[in-house]
Structures are given as structure tokens and as C-alpha cells.
Structure 1
Amino acid sequence: MSQDAAVQALLGLLQLGRRAREADSVPALGFVIVNETLSVLPYRQAALWSEAGLGGVVAVSGLPQVDPNTPYLQWLNRLCRALAKAGGLQALDASSAPAHCGDDWAAWLPAHALWLPLTAHGGQREGGLLLARDAPFDPAEQTLLTELAGTYGHALAGFRPREHALARLLSVLRPGRLQRRVLAGLLVACLVPVRLSVLAPAEVTPRQPFLVRAPMDGVIGRFHVQPDQAVEAGAPLFDLDTAALQTRRAVALRAHDTALEEYRQSAQLAVTDDKGRLKMGTVRGELEQRALELQYLSQQLERVQVKAERGGVAVFGDVNDWQGKAVTTGEKVLLLADPAQVELVARMPAADQIELQPGDVVTLYPDASPADGYEARIASVAYSAEPTDQGVLAYRVRAEFSAGQALPRLGQRGTVRLSGRWVPFAYYALRRPIATLRQWTGW
């Protein structure tokens, strides 16, 4: 190729690129590709193959419209489909035509042809261009056409419809070696056995604590201990307000003195008067009643100060929450606990319930020291769920700490991992979604 011819080919290449970019539809672009490529190099026939849809010839040189039902187009579609599957630049003739197209070659095409695959960015195959003429295509022409094919492929990709997300997913899952490996890996991962586990809030509570109750109805006047304070047996814990009892005792004492005086007068009259002897029995009964009332109130005054019946740590909220508060007989005020006897109480949400057995190992991760962990064994699981302070239905799980480890501090809170039976990973991952779906659908 001479220098002038090379310059003309380069100018034609630039002009064809501009014409391809200006095309506003696939038919307009196809007309430019199959007809105006003649300005770059000579050929007798050209056909444009598109990969869109099921694939087919969309433009043929010299024809204003393509009819896929004609014998020529049917033969040309069979040839281009075979060339597109083979891929790559191919120079061919009747002897090397694929798909048994060589028998009818002479009836439809000149002696030599060149197949140009049209690809877009990333190697995405958009179609192919078939050029045919009597003389073979030399290497210089093939290089020029390869550059032109890139321009045509990029222009053709601009008319490709935006692929739906489902279609992209199906293309990824289309059978192939990589897809089969991915699916096999996912299948193996779904069958990997894992243990069902639930994270639940937990607290370190005393085991067999001594419950301190209010001995009578009244108002708490003073607390002698602070929360988490160690106390000894016999130490005062709190006092009830004595103002009301003192008033009642003063009234009872006055009534007792009055009854005693009446009894003395009746005793004196009984010596000389028969009626006085009869009245003395009634007055004596009233005196005994007043004496009992006075004795009862005196005993109540002795009970206003509550003392520790055994040593331990005082477990309650805040002193200010109790001072001045009215309590009834038997109402819980505080606990006396032994720091060396503690247990773990977890609240397993009802929505995440798993099957637990006594003796299963659980692990406590304290909030204050997340790097530490304490092992415990389940002692019991509540039969029914109860609402927590946060209003969540949960099952109470009691566990005893394993021997040979330092015990956590009484009242320490944290998160406990409850582990159940072994299940496939697919069941572990889909358990909650399936449960939610069944709740919504009633299935």
C-alpha cells in the first residue's frame, strides 16, 4: 500500500468512526458498517451479525431491508453463527467454511472472505462483520480492519439495552466451569455443620441468698448499710419509723393505767358491796385486754430495727429508694448474699429460643471486661417465658460456674453465648427468615 493510499485509508477510518458515532439506531449503524466501509478498502459483499437477542444478521450490503426467511439470509445466518462461536479474526474460503457452508459457498459469496469479531469494552462480544471479495485480504488490510472493528463494536454496544439485574444474575449462573465451581463451593458451605447459638443478656446473681423482709407495716426511716456492704450476723440493717407506734403505745399505756385504776376501785368496793364483786370481773377482763395491747405494741417497737440473721453482702439498689418508703408486712427489702456462692442467670429471648439441656456449657463475656470469659454449666431452663424489664419475653436460664476458675463479681452483667445442637449452615442462616415468613404467611 502506497503512502497516499495509507493516508486515504486513515482519513476514511476517521470518517467512518465519526459516522458510526452519529448513527441514531441499529439499522442506521448497520447501513454505515456494511456499505460505507467500502471507502476504506474494496469488497463485494458485507454482512453485519449482531449478538442481541438470539443473534442474527441485521444488515447486508446492497439491501435496504433484511428478510430472514430468504435462502441467502438463512445460509448467511448459519455461517455467521458458526464463526461467532469460533471467535477471533478469521480469513476463510469455501474449503475452510464451518457448519457445512462450503458446499453452497460459490452460490452466495465470492472466493475469499474475512470475519471480524466486534467487541466492546471489557471484551464483551457485540457481533461480527463478514467481508467477501474475489482476492484475499492482505495483512495490512487486516490490521486496518481490526482497528475499525473496535470502533464498530463500541458503537454497537451503545444500542445494547440495559441489562436487568435478574438477567445479569442468570448470566453469572449460566452453566460453565467457574459457575459450577462456585455452586459446588456454595453447596459445600451450606452443608458445613455449625452449632446453633444465641447471645443473651446475663447477670451474676447470689445462690441461695437470705431474703430480708419488712417485719410489719410501716415506713422505712433509716438504713444502716450501703449497697454491696459486707455485714456480720446481728448487725443492724434498717429501722422503721417509730412515730406512729410510739403514739399508739402512749395511748395504750394511758388506757392501761385507767383500766388498772378502775380495777383497784372495783376491788375495794367488792369487800363491802356484792355489786362491786360482780363488776370487778368485767373490769379485770378489760385490764387484761389493755395489758395485752400494751405488750403487743412494746414488742412491735422492739422489732422496728431489723438486724442481719447471718453474715453476707447487702444486695439492694439505692438507700434513697427506700428511705421514707411505706412497706407492708413481708415485703422484700434486700438480700444477704455470700460472694463465694454465685450463679449465672441468663435471659434467652423467646424469638431466638433453641433447645438447651442441663449440663451444656455456656460462656459469659462481662461488659466491664470483654477480654475475660467465664464458663458455666446449665442447671435449669424455665418452662415458660416471662417478660423482662425491657418488655421482652425471655426464658430464664440458670447456670453454675465451673470449678477451678476465679468467680466473677456479684452483680456483674454481660453477654452469654448459649449453644445448642449441630445443624447445617444453611439452616443456621435461614432459620430466622423462615420463622418470620411463617409468622407472616401462617404456613
Structure 2
Amino acid sequence: MNNPEAPSPLLGLLQLQRRAREAATPEALGFVMVNETLQLARYRQAVWWSTAGLGRVAAVSGLPQPDPNAPYVQWMASLCRHLTGAQPEAGEVDGAALPDGVRADWAEWLPAHALWLPLRRDAHAPDGALLLARDEAWAPHDLALLRELSHAYGHALHALQPQRTWRERLLGALRAGKTRRRLLIVALLACVCPVRLSVLAQAEVVPQDPFIVRSPLDGVIDRFDVRPNQPVKPGTPLFSLDTTALRARMELARKAVDTAQEEYRQSAQSAVTSDKSRAEIALRRGKLQEKAVEMDYTAEQLDRVQVKADRAGIAVFADSGDWVGKAVTLGERVLQVADPMKVELVAWLPAADLLPVAPGDTLTLYPQGSPLQSFDATVLSVAYRAEVTRDGFVAYRVKASFTAGQPVPRIGQQGTARLHGAWAPLAYVALRRPLAVMRQWLGW
């Protein structure tokens, strides 16, 4: 028959949890853990191990304050430091798995059976551990109750501890276990792993050394004789200007020449008998020559209204409908005649992502609409001055020639070019843009 005056384990558990919540300092909580846990389970020795900093023995049962220089405390610190990494879960301590130096002195400092209880909050890293030791083996119901109590101790300890610094967090992470240490080492090695700096830029394939076809005079384009991308030969008609105004001027010039010629003929006949007519004959001859020059110039302009190709290639322009009926001025660019096998790449390097790119560096073009195709090129020149592009951002013009031995891309093909720079650690490449923004914001 059970003794009605003996407190039940559940009542002892609730009382200890309440005492843990009422503790005002970590030291007061440590006193409760190493001394008053005896209400729930019998033991001979208890030690509270704190993981703050490099780790220390924070409380020992029966002592008001442990001496860190005492042999017992130093041996206990070695044991707890080993168990923190080797035994992350609650359970009995296996003496055979301890290091030789710790196992040899076990019988001198502790009873035969010890229980290790990490003090953690949920799945977080433990803020410490409680070590209980006694002569008899630990029963399963003792272990179940103490696990539940250690969970409450862990919550109370976490609430009382100050916010850990980044150094303490790093040391705690390194002490958490071999797997986490290895992962951190791999991450650190990856941060210093050298990778090549690169930046993306808009790019377009343009003809190399094209022949620019310009308007030969002021006028209106009447018709186009070629289609976009049509192959042409030297002498092939490209486009023609409207001749209505020029033909009217030609007719006026011809009549002006006829009139001046008749006036000159009459002055020449009158010069035989009239001194006045002999004096005007030179003036009439000059006027006749002036009108003849005007007529010749108009005839020359009529001969130039039809523009022809000077070399073989393809006619590069968007659409003839954009030009027919449009007024053009002398020298205005209308189209290009280019060799489809001679192309180069023009890339626009954003000023905000400027890399130290120099002639001879490499870049790769990834054309739009062709995810499995790419073209390698070599930088020929980089503009010293940035300019505003047609998309409205400031960028440097970069010209590059395609590497021989690969298919020639189509003129007008657009895409994204990846320019390659110098080698740098992965951490710098990942933080390069945030650091630049922070520096501009802070002004240092």
C-alpha cells in the first residue's frame, strides 16, 4: 500500500517546474537544478554545465560556488566538454566511450552511474546540461521524469540568459558536433574559393565594316527596289527619290537656257551695227553660261535620284514601308549593305556594373530564343565614356569579334553577353553589389 504522505512524482515535477520559473537569475536556477532536483530522483552528485563562452562548470551540488582551479571541477569540465559534442541527447553516460584520461579518473570523482541531461529549448542548441550521478542504475521512469524536467530547465535557462554575441554563437555552433563543424568549414572554404567576376550586358550582332547608304540629296523616297536582307551586287538599284520637283526644275532650267541663248544671239547680231549691243554681248554670254550650269546641275541631280549598291552584300534595313513617302535630307542614313559573313558584337556594359574589361578579354553571347546556343567573342575596344542607350540607361559600348571556328550569328540577332573579368573570392563576388550600394549610401 502506498504511503499517502509521500509526494507523488507528478507533484514533485510540477513543484520543480514552478521553482525554475520563479528563479530570478541563472545562479538561482543553477542552485535549484543541482540541489532541489533531489525531490524528483535520488542522486549523490549533480553538476550544472553552462555552454556560455568556452563552457564552464557553473554549479555543483553541496557547494555555494565551484572553484574553477579545483581538480574535481577541472576533471568535470573535461568530461562535460566531451559529452557536449559526443552525446547530444539525454541518457546514461557510457564510460567505455570516454577518452582515456577522463575514463581513468572516473572512479575517483563520480559514482558508477551518471545521467546526462542537455538543457535545450525545442530544437535549438542546448544552453547547458545537467549531470546527475549515483551508485545504482537509473530506472526508465526516472529517465522519463528527468527528461521532462530538463526541458523545463532549458526554457527557464534560455529566458534568463543574455543575448549571446556573434562570437559566442560561432563558438556554440562549432561545439555542436562534427557534422556542423564540417559544414561550417566547407562554407568557409567555399567563401574563399576563387571564381571569375562576370557581368551581364545587352548585346546585338552588327555588320563589320558595312557600307552606309545615305540620301544623295534632299527629297522624298518614292520607292524601294530591294527587300530587307536581300542579296545585292554592285550596281543593283536600292531605292529612288521622287523626281516630280526635279523634273519641274529641269524644265524651267531648259527654258531659261533657251531664253538666254536667244538673247545672246540677238545681241550678237546687233553688235555688228550698234556699239551698245557690243557692250552687252559679254553680259549675255555670262547669263547663258549660268543658266547652262543650272540645267547641268539639275540633270546631274536627276541622275542621282536612283541609288545603287557600290559593293556586294545584303541590304540591311527594317521595312521599306517605314521609308516610302518619308522626306529625307542630304546625307541621311537610309540602309546598310553588309557582308553576312563579316559580323561583330556590340554590347552595352551598364555603368553601375562596370568591370575592368580590356581588349583581349573574353565574353559569351547567349542569343534570345536559342537557349542551347552560345557564341564566344574577344573584346576589341571599350569606350572611355558612357552614353545613354536607346533603353534609357547609362552604359559603355563594348565591341568584340567572334572567335573563328564557330557558326557566324545572324546580323541583328540580340541577346545577353556575359563579360568575364578577373578572379576573386566567392564571398566578394556575392557581396560586390551590396557593398557598392552600402558604400554609396554611407559615403566612405
User: TM-score, normalised on structure 1?
Assistant: 0.74
Corresponding residue of 1:315: 316
User: How many Å apart are 1:336 and its aligned residue?
Assistant: 0.2
Check conservation: 2:340, 2:411, Cα contact below 8 A.
Answer: yes
Secondary structure of 2:336's aligned partner: strand
User: How many Å apart are 1:367 and its aligned residue?
Assistant: 1.6
Please tell me the residue identity of whatever aligns with 2:386: A
Structure 1 spans left out of the alignment, 5+ residues = 61-71, 99-110
Check conservation: 2:368, 2:415, Cα contact below 8 A.
Answer: yes
Query: CA, structure 1 residues 167+129, in 2 after alignment: closer, same or farther (shift >3 Å)?
Result: same
Q: Distance in 1 between matches of 2:77 and 2:195?
A: 48
* Residues 223-282 of structure 1: CA deviation (Å, up to 9, x unaligned): 222221222222221122223323333333333333333333333333332222222322
Q: Distance in 2 between matches of 1:42 and 1:378?
A: 80
Corresponding residue of 1:4: 2
Match of 1:155 among 149, 152, 156: 152
Corresponding residue of 2:98: none
Corresponding residue of 1:261: 262
Match of 1:14 among 10, 16, 20: 10
Q: Distance in 2 between matches of 1:280 and 1:162?
A: 122
Check conservation: 1:57, 1:76, Cα contact below 8 A.
Answer: no
Q: Distance in 2 between matches of 1:389 and 1:33?
A: 73
Which stretch shows the higher mean deviation, 325-334 or 209-218? 325-334
**Which structure has the greater CA radius of gyration?**
1
Q: Distance in 2 between matches of 1:76 and 1:8?
A: 39
Check conservation: 1:35, 1:46, Cα contact below 8 A.
Answer: no
Corresponding residue of 1:68: none
* Residues 317-360 of structure 1: CA deviation (Å, up to 9, x unaligned): 33233223322211211110011222222233333333444444
Q: Distance in 2 between matches of 1:378 and 1:37?
A: 76
Query: CA, structure 1 residues 405+35, in 2 after alignment: closer, same or farther (shift >3 Å)?
Result: closer
Check conservation: 1:50, 1:58, Cα contact below 8 A.
Answer: no
Corresponding residue of 2:403: 402
Secondary structure of 1:124's aligned partner: coil
Which stretch shows the higher mean deviation, 322-331 or 113-122? 113-122
Query: CA, structure 1 residues 194+231, in 2 after alignment: closer, same or farther (shift >3 Å)?
Result: same
Structure 2 spans left out of the alignment, 5+ residues = 81-90, 94-106
Check conservation: 1:126, 1:153, Cα contact below 8 A.
Answer: no
Q: Distance in 2 between matches of 1:224 and 1:146?
A: 97
Q: Distance in 2 between matches of 1:440 and 1:405?
A: 45
User: How many Å apart are 1:216 and its aligned residue?
Assistant: 1.0
* Residues 112-169 of structure 1: CA deviation (Å, up to 9, x unaligned): 99877464445836554879xxxx77547x5443332222222223333298986577
Which stretch shows the higher mean deviation, 426-435 or 242-251? 426-435
CA RMSD in angstroms, aligned pairs only:
4.3
Secondary structure of 1:272's aligned partner: coil
Secondary structure of 1:421's aligned partner: strand
Query: CA, structure 1 residues 370+166, in 2 after alignment: closer, same or farther (shift >3 Å)?
Result: farther
Identical amino acids, percent of aligned pairs: 44
* Residues 177-236 of structure 1: CA deviation (Å, up to 9, x unaligned): 746645543443344333333332222221221111111122222222222122222222
Corresponding residue of 1:103: none
Q: Distance in 2 between matches of 1:47 and 1:348?
A: 68
User: TM-score, normalised on structure 2?
Assistant: 0.74
Corresponding residue of 2:305: 304
